[in-house]
Amino acid sequence: MTGSILIADDHPLFRQALRLAVGRALPAVRIVEAGTLAAAASAAAGAEDLRLILLDLKMPGAVGYSGIALLHAECPTVPILVVSSAEGAAAADEARAFGAIGFLHKGSDLDAIEAAIAGALGGAPSRRAAMAVGEAGDAGVDAIRETVAGLTPTQLKVLLAVLDGQLNKQIAHNLGISEATVKAHMTAIMRKLDVRNRTQAALVARSLGLDLSH
């Protein structure tokens, strides 16, 4: 297989380990690395031949599962395999709810990582993620997760900035857009989440774990 694979992790040594696993599984692909969520989103948006994203949940610019939601919005057809130190089946379940195809713990050996990469490229969820998907969930919460996962990349960036306590002026400056555009995005976010103000929008996002540390 040709094309490229994005490795998004803020630890250089672990990126090196993932490069090794990718090289063993797919020696012909080009590897792109990113150490922050912003860099990962930029790389994902600019890579026309992207085949897979390997993503750490906890990296600069990411809160909770926001990295999955943002990268899924940037590249909805590209599978995302989360490689994280988060524990418990619930983390895998949440990761898939926001758009990841699978979840692998950072303590896994290279053979397991290589197998998960091959499975993700083949469209198969990882064993751990598949187990989590089988668990019962709340239909209402799942519907809201899908709505959040369906926000555009800019809308997600605006929502994350609101979670961070930023005002419209700050958001506009950081994203390089006008305040009027920020307000328009916020209006669209509130409509999609069926809330009346930005405080309620932030509460919905928090209830889904977007601002939790993992």
Using one digit for the tens of pLDDT, what is the confidence trace for 109-125? 888 888 888 888 876 55
Condensed to tens digits (0 to 9), the pLDDT of residues 60-83 reads 877 778 888 888 888 888 999 998
Rounded to whole angstroms, the Cα distance separating 197 from 214 reads 27
pLDDT at 133: 38
Q: Each residue of 127-166: pLDDT tens digit?
A: 333 333 334 346 667 777 778 777 888 998 898 888 888 9
- Antiparallel, parallel or unpaired: β 50-55 and 4-8: parallel
* CATH number for region 4-133: 3.40.50.2300
Domain ranges of the chain: 4-133, 139-207
Express each pLDDT in 88-111 by its tens digit.
677 888 888 778 888 988 888 888
DSSP-derived letter for residue 124 is P
Which residues are CB-contacts of 102 (< 8 A; sequence separation ≥ 6)? 79, 81, 82, 92, 96, 116, 119, 120, 124, 125, 126, 128, 129
Residue predicted with more confidence, 200 or 150: 200
First to last CA, the chain: 32
What's the pLDDT score for residue 136? Answer: 39
Question: In this predicted structure, what is the pLDDT of residue 138?
Answer: 62
Is 96 in contact with 124 (CB distance < 8 Å)? no
**Token code pair at residue 160:** 């994350």
Separation between Cα atoms, residue 160 and residue 31, nearest integer Å: 28
139-207 to CATH, choices 2.60.40.10, 3.10.450.230, 3.90.850.10, 1.10.10.10: 1.10.10.10
For residue 82, the cross-strand partners are 55, 103
One-letter identity of residue 196 = R
Question: Using CA atoms, how far apart are residues 19 and 28, in angstroms rounded to an integer?
Answer: 12
211 band by pLDDT with thresholds 50, 70 and 90: low
Least Cα distance to 133 among 95, 167, 166, 161 occurs for: 95
